[in-house]
Structure 1
Amino acid sequence: MRQSFAAYFFFAALFLFCAGVTLLPGGAGAEPFKCSICHKDLIRGPVPHKPVAAGKCLDCHKQFNDNHPLGKDSMGFKVPKENLCATCHGYIVQKPFLHKPVGKGECTSCHMAHSADYKSLLKDPSPTLCFRCHPKDHFTGTFTHQPVAEGDCLACHDAHQSEGKSLLRKPGSELCFMCHDRSAFTGKSVHQPVRNGECVNCHIIHGGPYRKLLKEDYPTVLYKPFDNDAFPICFRCHDPQLASLDTTEVSTKFRNGSRNLHAVHVKKASKGRSCRMCHNPHAEVQDRLIYPKAVGFGNWDIPIRYEATPTGGGCSVGCHRTLRYDRVKAVEQ
């Protein structure tokens, strides 16, 4: 009888010891169970934070003290809250430009700390999450950039950090060439903004009222009566006098002597040529951004063969005989 009592006492003591390890503040061995008893609401989402899924609450939190759960800071963080995420995710704060919430250590502006309904513990999917801070009307228009229309902000932007402004994934036109075929923007002649990687000189990034996301209107018709407001996107940089003056010595290099040949082409009452009839706005295989073919004339693409010389050039097209010009000594023809 005495042996049975001793055995009973031993196992009872062992049980109480194990229970103490589990339930007392120092008993981290059963951490996931004791936390989830009260905090089930924090771990209901289908996407858990890895430490939460592993029951490692103390990866982020201090062990609770005697005031838990009612005492102030009774289960605080191991480090100040604004620095906490960087103890594991420090790789997202290494570049010079940081997303404002990241820079302030306000990760929970976008992320849930314990579990969420969306991947990466996001509070909402993109772009709904982005529109919490960024006004939605800044990203709408008659014409919308495809990634914006698809809600794929991360096609161009990094959510946390970047080497340049606006959290862009790559600088300048290198970003654009992630989607747009680089070969369409190379050639014998390249438009200066394209050559400089300044696509935003002509294009709006997210959305706007004009086709091709242009900042101003660019007529697509072949013929258009000329005036100084006829081609607003072009005249953002180019002086309208390159086409408006009948004679000039300085406003354009496309002249025969002082006769302005731009004016000859565009200043016609019924068939003033538009810029797009001859010029590619990005790059071309010929000098002066001249198309090798003028499209839009039914089934016939009119061939254009342009040759530049040091002081002029010559043009052979399907609509007229070869004509030449020289700025120094006018060509008689």
Structure 2
Amino acid sequence: MSSDYPPGYDDPNKPLYPQGGSYPAPPPYGFPSYGGPQPNAPYPPGPNTHMYPGPGGYPPAYPGQPHAGGPPPMPPIMPPTIPADVLESGNADGFAASGGGWDTVSLRHAFIRKVYMILAAQLTVTTAIVAVFTFVDSVKTFVQENQALYWASYAVYFITHLVLVCCTGPRRKHPWNMILLLVFTLALSYMTGTISSFYSTKAVFLAIGITAVVCIAVTVFCFQTKVDFTKCRGLFCVLGIVMFVTGIITVIVLSFKYIYWLHMLYAALGAIVFTMFLAYHTQLLIGNRKYSIGPDEYIFAALSIYVDVIQIFLFLLQIIGSSNR
């Protein structure tokens, strides 16, 4: 009489799996017969498989960044150039803007107010674009994934900058000068917003705050000091060339291999140099130094100070944001 119970482990004469009864046949060795993965069969996709697009894929560091650790584009660098026809030289007393009626305080103050009103409008547009690119996730994702638009805006920025600096006619003729300045401002604002989107909101706010403090301090200093930065035209010309060449070299080196200390050294150098340029351009605007900007060059004056402020912000953002990414 056969038993339906399985044999004990101490019975060497009976098979481990009885052939009769209601017991199922044993599964093949190594591959169970229940619906698990079979030989050479792909594993079913998991819930987080979409995070890894394929071989070599990386999880995003935060929404909108294509790959973890992807560096933001480098800020635009152009040597600050001041054409000879923009400046007015001083008289025997060593002070500029003393000929005709331009030496009157009222005309000079009207010129300064006009320049700072244009500058305030430019900075308002840039701040609004940076805020949208920083807070709106869909916009942040779009600009980070479509960097061709960044380089297109770089081309627009480069061309309009050359036209406004090198061509006297478009720079002084209304309304073309305002149209070119608006295009220039929008292009640089788009680039600034794109770079800001790669950094945390905290870093962007800190960079904006420190930039505001630096700019106010430099402006107050330039109005109060007796030091004449306009006498050092040769020094500032050399600094502009050095920053331009250094920027090209740094971009080339970092494109092949990212070197943290080189990036931070370049950013610190840029923040210092453009702070000095801000002081130089502010004294040219004031007009009570050896050299000053002529009364018809309000577009050039606003453009120069605007570029200085944006460059200081971008270099500070690289330094502050490097520890928060």
Same fold by TM (over 0.5)? no
Provide the TM-score with structure 2 as the length reference. Answer: 0.25
TM-score (norm 1): 0.25
Larger of the two Rg values belongs to structure? 1
**Which has a greater percent of helix?**
2
